[in-house]
Structure 1
Amino acid sequence: MASRGGASPAGAVAGVDPDTAALEAAVRELRGAVHDSALPVRLDGVQDSRRDRVELLNQLDDYILPRLTSLDAPLLCVVGGSTGAGKSTLVNSVVGDVVSRAGVLRPTTRASVLIHHPGDASWFSTDRVLPGLARLSGGPSTEEDPGQLRLVASPHIPQGLALLDAPDIDSVVEANRDLARQLLSAADLWLFVTTAVRYADAVPWQLLRQATDRGTSVAMVLNRVPVDAMEEVRADLAQMLIQQGLGQSPVFAVLESRLDPEGLLPRSEVTRIRSWITSLAADAHARATVIRRTLNGALDSLSGRASALAEASDAQVSAVSTLRSISADAYQRARDEVEEGMNDGSLLRGEVLARWQEFVGTGEWFRQLDAGVGKVRDRVTAAFRGRGRAVPTGELGDALHTGVAALVASHGESAALSVARQWRTHPGGTDLMAAHPEMARVSGEFDARVQQLVRAWQGEVLELVRGEAGGRRTTARFLAFGVNGIAVMLMLVTFTATAGLTGAEIGIAGGSAVVAQRLLEAIFGDQAVRTLASKARQLLLQRVDQLYAAEQARHEQVLSTVVLDPSAPARLQSAIGALKAAR
């Protein structure tokens, strides 16, 4: 390391062949996978992953792909550093002209300033590098912003090398900080400017460690060094560089000096830096060495950075998949509970049971079941025949309608509440619930759809009875009950798993269904009754499935607002494999 001088970056590394189609294709494939690996779900650590993704995408666009396709383009040296380190003053002094605005107000550097030889203008006037920045020309102004790249052609810069004055890496303006990092990632060479007071600051060393990890070529300028502190500061900085793996990096020391009337440093203090830049630009081998080292380092870093992004992307996909599973499981559980409620006889209690007792004439019938179901069946049949007309079934049908609707609605509402409760406690779900509070309850049309569902199902049961009746419509038993009465009894049989059992131990609810089943068997036969009951159950469950699917679709619609490519992790891994194979 030189005390106040410098040397060209040392050591050639394995070359990169920019004409290798497989390598460029692999990098472009990786770039596409990185672009599509959005991280919209707020998970632990996602902010860091999002920043890393943007930095990776920027470096691919701003440096790796442009450099792969134009290895002979001028070397881009980005001058970066902390606020107040004197970057712009140093750049102006090296160029010998005021090309970048300097001053005491912070932040000073807003737009990026790229100084190049007039003969190299074609390399930078297009969007070959830093395509996201608008180009402008002319002198410094107060209208500059971080989205601009001001181009300055100067004959004082040697052809084959360009200087880029970047914003402060620790600027109080976030856009400036982000741009500084982006520009440093686009550099063939980082020229870090620090001072004798601030050379140990944490932020610059974080970026220098990043440079080490990515194989970026680095040189340093220790600015504003008091004469009596030169040796001490130089030794301490040298030790820090060695610890960070940058012991071979050129270091230039600039004494604390009075600026001339134009705000430039004394020529003697920048002569060594200017000579180094000139010799680097003139030496094609040295220039190519820097470019190839940095490019190879950037390519080497891609696999690890893309793998980390793949893990973050996979976590995003898993989080959304978990939210989707929560919704699917809740409605599947609701559907299963409806089916259980259909089979356990619970619907045949309360109001339904009371209406059934009225339907057959008296509650005494079911308090005397110990006389045998067959005897009850005969007495019911005889009573109906004696009436000589179809028995009114409206109240019993209404009671069944109410019971079925309550069963379907209550489990649907429970599913919506369950999903909301779980989403609020899962990564990503909290934000979705905050954005869509209506998801904590069923849809506004849910109750009306439940009522429509039950009416439609009852109509289907009537059609089943009509279709099965055939020539039996004129039989005495059929006429005794009528289509509605038989349909109601079929519904009763549908809602119990105890149908077919006999004996005094059968409960009242089960007994009512047993009586209904025996009456139906007297009309249609036992096999037909079993088939009819099975069809009726399936028809109701199909309608419940449709209803719950419509409610679950609301959750799917909310999840669809999370723009996420489920194939992104696999695409990243595939692209990493292709890149390794191409290298």
Structure 2
Amino acid sequence: MSSDENTGVAVELLEAVHRDLAATALTLALPGSDDARLDIRSALAQLDDYILPRYRSLDAPLLAVVGGSTGAGKSTLVNGFVGHAVTRAGAIRPTTRQPILLHHPGDGRWFEDQRVLPSLARIRGTVTADPVPASQAGPTPDAAAITSLVLVAETAVPQGIALLDAPDVDSISADNRKLAGQLLAAADLWVFVTTANRYADAVPWRLLLDAASRDIMVAVVLDRVPPAAEAEVSADLQSMLNREGLGAARLFVVPEAPLDGMGMLPPAAVEPLRTWLQELAADAASRADIARRTLNGTVKALGGRVEAVAVAAGAQERAADVLAGDARDAYRDAVARILAATRDGALLRGEVLARWQDFVGTGEFFRAMEQNIGRFRDRLGAFFRGEPAPAVRVETAIETGLQAVILDEAANAAEDADARWRSDPAGRQLLGGDDLSGTSDGFADKAAAEIRAWQGSLMELIRTEGQGKRTQARWLSFGINGLGAALMIVVFSMTAGLTGLEVGVAGGTAIAGQRLLEAVFGEDAVRRLAQKAREDLHARCQSLLQDEQERFLSRLEFPGGVAPEVLSGHADALRRLAASA
């Protein structure tokens, strides 16, 4: 595969990583999620600002970012490098709060578009013929909203390399600190400026360790060093660099010296740094080697970040599964309790029992069934045809009792699910100030409508079963509502198998209902009817409560998202890409 083809494959991978990272939503409040979200933002920024631009333009000039702590003398060093004042403390017009990028006039095309640092607009700066003395430059404007990059063409900057004067890494302005980090992450090499009395500060070293993890070339400038302390301080700093894996960093010492009226260092103070950068710029092979080294180290570090995001995404997925499982368990248990209440005779008490006894009559009903089911059928058939209201009252009582059970258990499920979620930080975050511990608005009406629909389907079962010529006369003589009421009673007294009955319930009235149905349809048909009716009731209860649990589950439906294994695959591919180079 040719070099261009390799580059194309690498760019395709990096674009896929960018797309999938941007689609990764770590919504749940889990330990480590904040760090992972920061990893996503940092990775996306570095892909935009440095990795993708560098892969697409491997022959572009090197970008050397000059960074360091507050008061370290970065801008003074840059001015000294080019030989006159070009920073804001000198005489850039327009005066801006933006960072300044100095480049050779022949390299302007590489930086004038949005190839690197695409989030920053470009402003073309100029150097006045009559520089303003440092004492008259005035305070630096507030950097509350940095949106632009000032480009300054400068012949003193060698072609093949550009210098970017970054804000302080430890600025009191959060925006300044953020921008400093962004600019350093976009660099091919760092010129890191510190001072004799601040070189051990924690903030700069955190950034230097990040440079070590990326294998980026670093030049450390030790500024304002008293001549008497130069040997001791430089040796101590070099020892620290060696311990932290930065032993290859070039160390330049700038002696303490007075500035002239324009705020300029003596030319000799920055000559070693100037010479080194000019030599790098003049050697195309060295520039390419630096670019490849930094790029590969950055891609390797990106792989680690993507893997950390994959781990966080996996934790999010598992946490969401736990919360979903808690809600489903609560409502599944509620369905089981509803079905148990419809199976063990619990509904054949109170109003339902009274209406059923009104319907079937007193002891005469049972004596008639025991003595002669045929004669009983004739007498009862006339009763049904003349007075249908008692059967309807049984249906109404069953609807009322069953609705009460469903409402009670749905409320219990909601309370249980709400409590489980509130015991979990991620669940509390998703619930926020909403109280889901009760049933939803309109649930009682939905339950009543579903029960009536079940009763209607049960009547249709009886009609379908009675379509045969032999049974049609029988079920017509008893009446559809009467047989339906009897079937409901049988369904609500099933405790074992398909036809096992709790004989003691309501003085044997359930037995009477079953015998009545068997007299019309036969024993096997009654089993089949009861089983179908129970299955239909089960399905309707499940549907009702599944709709209710959606109040919880819908909060786990996050937009977009990428599977953790996809991100892990990207991480492996990035590590292979870095290793192959």
Instruction: Establish whether TM, by shorter chain, passes 0.5.
Output: yes
Answer whether contact 2:25 2:559 (CA < 8 A) is retained: yes
**What residue identity is the alignment partner of 2:56?**
T
1:549 corresponds to: 546
Q: Distance in 2 between matches of 1:501 and 1:559?
A: 43
Alignment CA distance shift 1:382-1:205 (3 Å): same
SS in structure 1 at match of 2:328: helix
Q: Does 1:456 align with 2:453?
A: yes
Determine the structure 2 residue equivalent to 1:201.
201
Q: Quote the residue 2:131 is aligned against.
A: none
Query: SS state of the match for residue 354, structure 2?
Result: helix
Distance 2:12 2:500 in 1: 73
Work out whether residues 360 and 380 of structure 1, in 8 Å CA contact, stay in contact via their aligned partners in 2.
no
Q: Which amino acid aligns with 2:70?
A: T
Residue 572 of structure 2 is aligned to residue 572 of structure 1: no
Q: Does the C-alpha gap of structure 1 residues 373 and 432 become closer, same or farther in structure 2, counting only changes over 3 Å?
A: farther
Shift of 1:216: 0.9
1:521 Cα deviation from its structure 2 partner: 1.2
Classify the secondary structure of the residue corresponding to 1:130. Answer: coil
* Counterpart pick for 2:51 among 61, 64, 88: 64
Q: Which residue of structure 2 lines up, in the alignment, with residue 183 of structure 1?
A: 183
Post-superposition offset of 1:163: 0.7
Letter of the 1:156 counterpart: A
Contact persistence 2:307–2:568 (CA under 8 A):
yes
1:564: Cα distance to partner? 4.6
Q: Distance in 2 between matches of 1:256 and 1:149?
A: 31
* In the alignment, structure 1 residue 384 sits paired with structure 2 residue 371: no
Contact 1:226-1:256 at 8 Å conserved across structures: yes
Would you say the 8 A contact 2:96–2:141 is kept in 1?
no
Counterparts of 1:260 and 1:376 in 2: how far apart (Å)? 127
Instruction: Classify the secondary structure of the residue corresponding to 2:466.
Output: helix
**Unaligned stretches of 5+ in structure 2?**
128-139
How far residue 125 of structure 1 moved from its aligned partner, in angstroms, is 0.7
> What is the Cα deviation at residue 255 of structure 1?
2.6
Alpha-carbon spacing, 1:545–1:70, altered in 2? closer, same or farther (3 Å): same
Pick closer, same or farther for the CA change 1:327–1:221 going to 2, 3 Å. same
Aligned pair partner of 2:31 in 44, 66, 87:
44
Match of 1:443 in 2: 440
What secondary structure sits across from 1:131 in the alignment?
coil
What CA distance in whole angstroms lies between the structure 1 residues aligned with 2:68 and 2:576? 37
> Which residue of the partner structure matches residue 130 of structure 2?
none
Residue among 49, 71, 76 paired with 1:89: 76
Aligned equivalent of 1:325: 325
* 1:290 equivalent in structure 2: 290
Q: What runs of 5+ residues in structure 1 fail to find an aligned partner? A: 1-15
Residue 527 in structure 1 maps to residue 524 in structure 2: yes
Alignment of 1:212-251 (within 5 A): 212-251=212-251
Task: Tell whether the 8 Å contact from 2:327 to 2:549 is kept in structure 1 after alignment.
Answer: yes
- Which residue is 2:171 aligned to? 171
Measured at CA, do residues 577 and 242 of structure 1 come closer, stay the same or move farther in structure 2, by a change above 3 Å?
closer
Per the alignment, residue 431 of structure 2 pairs with: 433
How far, CA to CA, are the matches of 1:264 and 1:25 in structure 2?
A: 47
Query: How many Å apart are 1:101 and its aligned residue?
Result: 2.7
Q: How many angstroms does 1:17 deviate by?
A: 5.0
CA RMSD after TM alignment: 3.1
What code does the residue aligned with 1:98 have?
A
> TM-score, normalised to structure 2's length?
0.87
Q: Distance in 2 between matches of 1:176 and 1:417?
A: 49
Distance across 2 between alignment mates of 1:390 and 1:249: 103
Cα shift readout 1:133-154 (whole Å, capped 9, x = no counterpart): 2112226984864222221111
TM-score by structure 1 length? 0.86
Question: Which residue, 465, 477, 484 being the options, matches 1:487?
Answer: 484
- Tell me the alpha carbon deviations over residues 514-569 of structure 1, each in whole angstroms, 9 at most, x when there is no partner: 22111111122212222222222222222223222322333333222x335242x2
| Count of equivalent residues | 554
2:559 paired with 1:563: yes
One-letter amino acid of the counterpart of residue 320, structure 1: A
- Give the ranges of 4+ consecutive aligned residues of structure 1 lying more than 6 Å apart after TM superposition: 375-380
TM-aligned CA deviation for residue 162 of structure 1: 0.5
Contact 1:420–1:439, Cα closer than 8 Å, also in 2: yes
Match of 1:149 in 2: 149
Other-structure match for 1:7: none
Residues 65-102 of structure 1 show CA distances to partners (whole Å, capped at 9, x for unaligned) of 22122222111101111222222222223223433334
